[in-house]
Structure 1
Amino acid sequence: MSSERLIYLPLGGAGEIGMNAYVYGYGPKDNERFILVDLGVTFPDMDTTPGVDLIMPDIAWLEERKNQLEAIIVTHAHEDHVGAVGHLYNRLGAPIYARAFTAAIARHKVAEYGIHEGAVRTVSAWPEQIDLGPFKVGFVPLSHSIPESSALVIDTPAGRIFHSGDFKIDATPVVGEPFDAEMLAEIGASGVRALMCDSTNVFSTAQGRSEATLKPNLEELIRSQKGMVVATTFASNIARLQSLAEAGQAAGRSICLLGRAMRRMVETAVTTGILTNFPTTIPAEDAVSIPRDNLMLIVTGSQGERRAATAQLAQGKYLGLTMKEGDTFLFSSKTIPGNERGVIRIMNQFSEMGVDVVDDAGGLYHVSGHANRPDLMTMHDLIKPQMLVPMHGEHRHLREHAKLATERGYQGIVAVNGMMIDLTGDQPKVAEYIETGRTYLDGSVQIGAMDGIVRDRIRMALNGHVTVTVILDEEDDPLGEPWCELKGLPEIGRSGAPLADVLEEDLSQFIGRAGAKTLTDDDALEEGLRRVARKTALDEIGKKPEVTVVISRLA
């Protein structure tokens, strides 16, 4: 019996939507060769990750084995698939492979960290394949909401894997390659051991819709508006940007793109030949002087991002441009779960200005980039895998997709982040569990989710903070009384006296009662002062704040 095994290990993207990172390995146990498919990010929120800039996969397990890593393969240029390559590349060091448009975006990201652009290598589409140790990998064009999105054919000595990446069935995607059922059927006919499949829309029972169906609705909406029209969508949705720009142009409006990410995406698409006839755009400084009823802005910030153009316009002014009563703002996008509050806040800010807000509640101005349930079933039938492993979804999506696979006669399994699956036998089975979590980009520093930094930040946000300062002389006697500085706490407590005064009085009494054993022991003194401060605060304001004690001793 062969000692080699074929494994699949998600480090991100399985049990969540975002932060995709999937490891495939082949070889003897503990001596496999690996490839990593995608290295993406997800985004923080003020409730659970205040102050954090980005959230990335925990790659510690793979970093320990980086001498066994053949390559990083990027399926497409969405942030949840490519956003971490610049941040984490130096910890892995393997070459990055992607098709031309995705590779151009990846080069921008690694260049920001001083990494030579040669780290990113451009590959051609299927049927060409690249040799990576025991793997032969081919990039299979699929339609999605960004150009050059690719599934992967991963050939191994143990059989063929088909990694779907993100996809939808769209014969007329406006920009990018259409869904090619005949090509996929040929791949499936050759025999596929395992299909790793997108699960995002497994609960959507309607047939998916084409991107091309939106343009007439967009043009009709824009033509009917009197004031300035502003539309937001995902910066990476090149086809939607094209549809919006063409609809605005057809309605007789000048088009202005606002937002660095959006301009970069369009520039990259033009440079790589993806876009050949994008309508002419004008810079923001020229847009200021154009009559409002002749102007259309296409802006970043569809998910309520605080620094994006949409949020800036909602707060007043952006690059000299303002929203006014009678203008229209269109969300040509779906709000990602978790972002609802930020988006609704912006909608209300626009409403207060007298701006008419149009969202996509009726499905007229947005179509999903992910396969709905009938489209997933079509993919199953084209690829005809021996086993099916759902990915790219929350646990409920993965579980539903696994049930669907089982009902349709395929071996299915729910595999979440950190669960290593052995694909070598007749059915998938759990080989082992890997400790994995999240890495936070906090400012310019990477920290672990379990390091306690964000936990302490949340505690301070919830409970406030007190700094207690005490000075002791050469004889270990108090030099004056302790004093307190408050942050994020009410000034007056239940007693009606200033909270700082009450705290200082109780702390002074504690110091006066403390014996020599406590006064000479920094740890004991610090613990006693902290305990008194928290108890007094609880009595006065009903909260136990975080307490920092500063003890100074005169030498």
Structure 2
Amino acid sequence: MSSKKLIYLPLGGAGEVGMNCYVYGYGAEDQERLIVVDLGVTFPDMDSTPGVDLILPDIQWLEERRDRIEAIFITHAHEDHVGAVGHLFERLGAPVYARAFTAHIARGKLAEYGLSDKTVKTVSAWPETVNAGPFTVGFLPVSHSIPETSALVIDTPDGRVVHTGDFKLDPTPIVGEPWNPDAWAEVAKPGVKALICDSTNVFSPDPGRSESDIADNLEALISEAQGMVVATTFASNVARLKTLADAGHRAGRSICLMGRAMRRMIEASVTTGVLADFPTVVSPEEAAQIPRENVMLLVTGSQGERRAASAQLAQGKYNGMRLKEGDLFLFSSKTIPGNERGVIRIINQFSEMGVDVIDDQGGRYHVSGHANRPDLTTMHKLMKPQIVVPMHGEHRHLREHARLAQTNGAQSIVAVNGTMVSLSGNAPQIAGYVETGRTYLDGSVQIGALDGIVRDRIRMALNGHVVVSVVLDENDEPLGEPWCELKGLPEIGRSNAPLVDVLESDLDQFVGRAGDKTRGDDDKLEEGIKRIVRKTCLDEIGKKAEVTVIISRLEA
């Protein structure tokens, strides 16, 4: 019996939606040759990750084995699948393979960091394949909400694995290749050892709908609007942008794109030939000269992002454009859980202006890019895999998808981030666990989620901050009173005296009464000062402030 095994290891995207990063390996234990599928990001929020710009997968396990990585394969160009390529490539060093549109986006990510775009290799669709150590990998087209989305057909010494990536069963997707069950059935003919499958919409009971289903609804809505029409969706949802632009054009409106990410995505689509007939667009300056009832803006910010075009318009003005009473704003998108607060804030700001806001209204103006429960069953029965491993979903999605797969006759297992699964036997087996976490892009620096930086930032936001300065002479005697600087704290406490005065008085008494051992030991003195500050703050304002102590000593 061979000691070599086929392993699957998610480092992101399993137990969450976003930050996709999956590893496949084949070989003897701790000697496996590896391939990586997707390097994505997820996005921070002010509650749990204040000040953070992006969240990346923790790739330390991979980095320690970079000499065993054969290649990186990117399934499609959504940020949660390709967004970390520029940030993490130097730590992995393996060539990147993708289809033309995705490769174009990936090269742009590398260029932002001054990295050579020659490391990205363009691959044609299946049946063309790439040899990567013990793996042979092909890109199998599938419909989604962005051009040239592909599943991966991964042939290994232990059988064929199909990694679906994000997908839906859409025969008329407007942009991108339609769902082709015959091509998938052909791939399934030799037998599928394991299907690693999207789980996002496993709880949606009705079959998924086509992108073309909403075109008439959008055109009717836009045609009936009296003022300016503004629509937002994901900048990367090229199919929806095309649907919206076509509907606006047919309604007699000039189309204006607002938001750098949206313009870049359309430009990339045209450059790579996946979008040939997008309506002519006008600049914001030109749009400002056209009667409002003849203009339609397509803007970024469907998830309430504070710096995107939607939020800027809601605050009053963006690129010279303002919304007025009687204008129409459409969210042609689904709000990702966790983003509701930002979206509602924008809706209310527009409401105060007299702007009519419309959301997706149960699917009239939006269809998902992911397979619903009946579509997953269709995929299971078409591919007839021995094993189904759910991915791309929160834990509840993975667990429900595993149940569905078992109902459809396959072996299944729930494998969240860090769970190494052996796919070599007749049933999936847990082969070990890897420590996984998150890496934060904080400004221009990558920091670990457990480094304490964001934790301290949250504590300061919740509790305020006091800086205490103490000066001691060469005999450890205080020179004057300690003084305090306050940030994020009320000026007046319960005693109706200035909080800074109460703190300085209490600290003066403490330092004056402290023994020689305490004043002569920085650690003991700092500990005592922090204790006094927190107690005084609790008494005066009901909060234990964060404290920084600066001790200065004069030398003899």
Shorter-chain TM range is over 0.9
- TM score, norm. by length of structure 2: 0.99
CA distance in structure 2 between the partners assigned to 1:554 and 1:349 by the alignment: 57
CA distance in structure 1 between the partners assigned to 2:238 and 2:29 by the alignment: 43
* Cα deviation, residue 157, structure 1: 0.5
For residues 113-158 of structure 1, what are the alpha-carbon distances to aligned partners after superposition, in whole Å with 9 as ceiling and x for unaligned?
Answer: 0100101110010011110000000000000000100000000001
Ranges in structure 1 where 5+ consecutive residues have no aligned partner: none
1:138-287 maps to which residues of 2 (within 5 A)? 138-287=138-287
1:506-545 maps to which residues of 2 (within 5 A)? 506-545=506-545
Tell me the equivalent position of 1:483. Answer: 483
* Cα deviation, residue 214, structure 1: 1.1
1:42-81 maps to which residues of 2 (within 5 A)? 42-81=42-81
Tell me the equivalent position of 1:357. Answer: 357
Tell me the equivalent position of 2:24. Answer: 24
1:58-457 maps to which residues of 2 (within 5 A)? 58-457=58-457
CA distance in structure 2 between the partners assigned to 1:387 and 1:255 by the alignment: 47
CA distance in structure 1 between the partners assigned to 2:289 and 2:150 by the alignment: 42
Secondary structure of residue in 1 paired with 2:343: helix
Q: What amino acid is aligned across from residue 241 of structure 2 in structure 1?
A: L
For residues 198-248 of structure 1, what are the alpha-carbon distances to aligned partners after superposition, in whole Å with 9 as ceiling and x for unaligned?
Answer: 000000010110001111111100010110000001111111111111111
CA distance in structure 2 between the partners assigned to 1:127 and 1:379 by the alignment: 20
Determine if contact 2:381/2:408 at 8 Å carries over to the other structure: no
CA distance in structure 1 between the partners assigned to 2:340 and 2:150 by the alignment: 30
* Cα deviation, residue 299, structure 1: 0.4
For residues 413-439 of structure 1, what are the alpha-carbon distances to aligned partners after superposition, in whole Å with 9 as ceiling and x for unaligned?
Answer: 000000000011110010001001000
CA distance in structure 2 between the partners assigned to 1:99 and 1:529 by the alignment: 61
Q: What amino acid is aligned across from residue 186 of structure 1 in structure 2?
A: E
Q: What amino acid is aligned across from residue 333 of structure 1 in structure 2?
A: S
Q: What amino acid is aligned across from residue 155 of structure 1 in structure 2?
A: D
* Cα deviation, residue 508, structure 1: 0.4
* Cα deviation, residue 353, structure 1: 0.3
* Cα deviation, residue 271, structure 1: 0.6
CA distance in structure 1 between the partners assigned to 2:519 and 2:435 by the alignment: 44
CA distance in structure 2 between the partners assigned to 1:148 and 1:75 by the alignment: 9
Find out whether 1:14 has 2:14 as its counterpart: yes
CA distance in structure 1 between the partners assigned to 2:508 and 2:354 by the alignment: 57
Q: What amino acid is aligned across from residue 460 of structure 1 in structure 2?
A: M
* Cα deviation, residue 362, structure 1: 2.8
Secondary structure of residue in 2 paired with 1:274: coil
Between the two proteins, the alignment pairs up a number of residues equal to 555
CA distance in structure 2 between the partners assigned to 1:526 and 1:102 by the alignment: 54
Secondary structure of residue in 1 paired with 2:461: helix
CA distance in structure 2 between the partners assigned to 1:112 and 1:285 by the alignment: 28
CA distance in structure 1 between the partners assigned to 2:284 and 2:309 by the alignment: 12
CA distance in structure 2 between the partners assigned to 1:545 and 1:257 by the alignment: 46
Determine if contact 2:7/2:420 at 8 Å carries over to the other structure: yes
Tell me the equivalent position of 2:500. Answer: 500
Determine if contact 2:420/2:432 at 8 Å carries over to the other structure: yes
CA distance in structure 2 between the partners assigned to 1:269 and 1:538 by the alignment: 58
* Cα deviation, residue 361, structure 1: 2.3
CA distance in structure 1 between the partners assigned to 2:55 and 2:306 by the alignment: 16
Secondary structure of residue in 1 paired with 2:363: coil
* Cα deviation, residue 481, structure 1: 0.2
* Cα deviation, residue 336, structure 1: 0.6
CA distance in structure 2 between the partners assigned to 1:197 and 1:544 by the alignment: 48
For residues 37-94 of structure 1, what are the alpha-carbon distances to aligned partners after superposition, in whole Å with 9 as ceiling and x for unaligned?
Answer: 0000000011110100000100000000000000110000000000000000000010
Secondary structure of residue in 1 paired with 2:492: coil
CA distance in structure 2 between the partners assigned to 1:118 and 1:62 by the alignment: 22
CA distance in structure 2 between the partners assigned to 1:233 and 1:108 by the alignment: 22
Secondary structure of residue in 1 paired with 2:500: helix
* Cα deviation, residue 519, structure 1: 1.0
CA distance in structure 1 between the partners assigned to 2:187 and 2:88 by the alignment: 33
Secondary structure of residue in 1 paired with 2:485: strand
For residues 310-332 of structure 1, what are the alpha-carbon distances to aligned partners after superposition, in whole Å with 9 as ceiling and x for unaligned?
Answer: 00000110011011101000000
CA distance in structure 2 between the partners assigned to 1:537 and 1:151 by the alignment: 57
CA distance in structure 2 between the partners assigned to 1:212 and 1:77 by the alignment: 21
CA distance in structure 1 between the partners assigned to 2:270 and 2:47 by the alignment: 39
CA distance in structure 2 between the partners assigned to 1:495 and 1:276 by the alignment: 71
For residues 276-312 of structure 1, what are the alpha-carbon distances to aligned partners after superposition, in whole Å with 9 as ceiling and x for unaligned?
Answer: 1110001111111111111100000100111110000
* Cα deviation, residue 476, structure 1: 1.4
Tell me the equivalent position of 1:468. Answer: 468
* Cα deviation, residue 553, structure 1: 1.0
Ranges in structure 2 where 5+ consecutive residues have no aligned partner: none
Secondary structure of residue in 1 paired with 2:220: helix
Q: What amino acid is aligned across from residue 18 of structure 1 in structure 2?
A: G
Secondary structure of residue in 2 paired with 1:317: coil
Secondary structure of residue in 2 paired with 1:214: helix
RMSD: 0.6
CA distance in structure 2 between the partners assigned to 1:231 and 1:527 by the alignment: 56
Secondary structure of residue in 2 paired with 1:231: strand
Runs of 4+ aligned structure 1 residues displaced above 4 Å come to none
CA distance in structure 2 between the partners assigned to 1:144 and 1:359 by the alignment: 21
CA distance in structure 1 between the partners assigned to 2:190 and 2:236 by the alignment: 34
* Cα deviation, residue 526, structure 1: 0.7
* Cα deviation, residue 408, structure 1: 1.6
CA distance in structure 2 between the partners assigned to 1:175 and 1:189 by the alignment: 28
Find out whether 1:546 has 2:532 as its counterpart: no
